[in-house]
Structure 1
Amino acid sequence: MKKTALAALALFASTACLAATPWQKITHPVAGSAQSIGAFSNGCIVGADTLPVQSEHYQVMRTDQRRYFGHPDLVRFIQRLSNQANSQGLGTVLIGDMGMPAGGRFNGGHASHQTGLDVDIFLQLPKNALDPVATAAAAGVRSGLTGRQASCAITVETGDF
């Protein structure tokens, strides 16, 4: 009897944790010039943009969660990153959670992603290992370095982001 009551209490407590937050009831971005308000784990956003869920260079995952909103700079960054990844032959970029239309707290999964500045990005791994020359070229490793030196010389090309 005690185990049944404890199990019922645990089930009740877990469903309360998964209940929608007031933020999840907002279906459209708040009008205004883009502004992230507060901190990543306690904030919101005005003027969020919607990341289009259809693209040939990225794929938005779990669209039913409606977590594909963000600051306009973040949306443009994702589009530029996925275009460049595609042009480099890296394939489709998978986009996980961003934020909700007005930001705010999710019912689970993240304490962050509240101000429209966060995104989960997944890069698909190649089916076969790349040859060393292609790997070095893609990573931007300066030639002439080996081992530990080479690992310190890897740069990320951010000029276009």
Structure 2
Amino acid sequence: MALLRMFALAALAVLTLASVALAQPARDLFGAMHSPTTGPEVPVGSYAKGCIAGAVQLPTDGPGWQAMRLSRDRRWGSAELVNYIGALAKSAAQDGWPGILVGDMGQARGGPMVSGHASHQIGLDVDIWFERMPDHQLSANERETLSARSVLKKGTRDIDPKKFGEAERLLLYRAAELPGVARIFVAPGIKKSLCAVTWRDRSFLNKIRPWYGHDDHFHVRLSCPAGVELCVNQAPAPAGDGCGAELDYWFTDEPYKPSDKPPAPPLTLADLPKACTAVLKAD
């Protein structure tokens, strides 16, 4: 009886610890992981509520690109995302773009982050700066201290033509035309600038979506890899080029009104797909 009681107490302790982990903010749990799981790549869940098994790390430098903010350890993602970055650098070079600076991707096992992003959780999101890559290999200090600068006129929602012009528009065109892209998020003024140009084919504009806070970089989101059932795609963007009333809305005060709702509590492990618990605990 004493032995049975001991096993029962041990099992209860394990369950209690598991319950504590499930209730703990997932950002703390995933933020503490600095190595990926072994085994196949599997994005799990949705862009703002998920994780990734088998992530790969973007090298610090590559042909036509350099990674920024190395101390954050957010250079992880799917193999598709790493390949996309290389493909974008190669494509943009055809227009004379000197190289891209890569901001945040995701964490080693994805999941929520302690700061900065609600999405970037399943290894399919990356931020690309509008700053041109310098003509030298950046030092560790430069990668931490150089900043992406807004391309908008100060105090307005419109682009500054001195900071955003044909070269930047072509970079976004190249980014949207590569295979696998679901959306690219930019500041409304940037979208407006793209809409004002006469393009031979405007279909790429459907993927360029206005969103808060994207005035110094653009956020590329890839679609889920084919055949990965645990990965949840975002709903398709509305049909059309997005240059009409839906863009006009972003130049009203309505999107920027403070919310009267209390802030949502941080996601816990219990809020994520069950497979993310296995991803967190895996070797």
- TM-score w.r.t. structure 1 length? 0.67
Q: How does 1:18-29 map to 2 (within 5 A)?
A: 21-29=28-36
Could you tell me how far apart the structure 1 residues matched to 2:93 and 2:87 are? 10
Quote the sequence identity (%): 32
1:56 deviation in Å?
Answer: 4.1
Could you tell me how far apart the structure 1 residues matched to 2:67 and 2:164 are? 25
Q: Of residues 76, 79, 96 in structure 2, which corresponds to 1:72?
A: 79
Aligned twin of 2:198 = 150
Deviation string, structure 1 residues 13-56 (Cα, Å, up to 9, x no partner): xxxxxxx7111211111112111001111110011111111224
Point out 4+ residue stretches in structure 1 off by more than 4 angstroms.
Answer: 125-131
Unmatched 5+ stretches in structure 1: 1-19, 141-146, 157-161
Q: Are positions 1:40 and 2:40 aligned together?
A: no
Describe the shift of the 1:99–1:128 C-alpha distance in structure 2 as closer, same or farther (beyond 3 A): closer
8 Å Cα contact 1:92/1:123 also seen in 2: no
Q: Are positions 1:59 and 2:107 aligned together?
A: no
8 Å Cα contact 1:91/1:124 also seen in 2: no
- TM-score w.r.t. structure 2 length? 0.40
Unmatched 5+ stretches in structure 2: 1-26, 133-161, 175-194, 205-283
Q: Secondary structure at the match of 1:81?
A: helix
1:148 deviation in Å?
Answer: 6.5
Letter paired with 1:49: V
8 Å Cα contact 2:63/2:89 also seen in 1: no
Q: Secondary structure at the match of 1:119?
A: strand
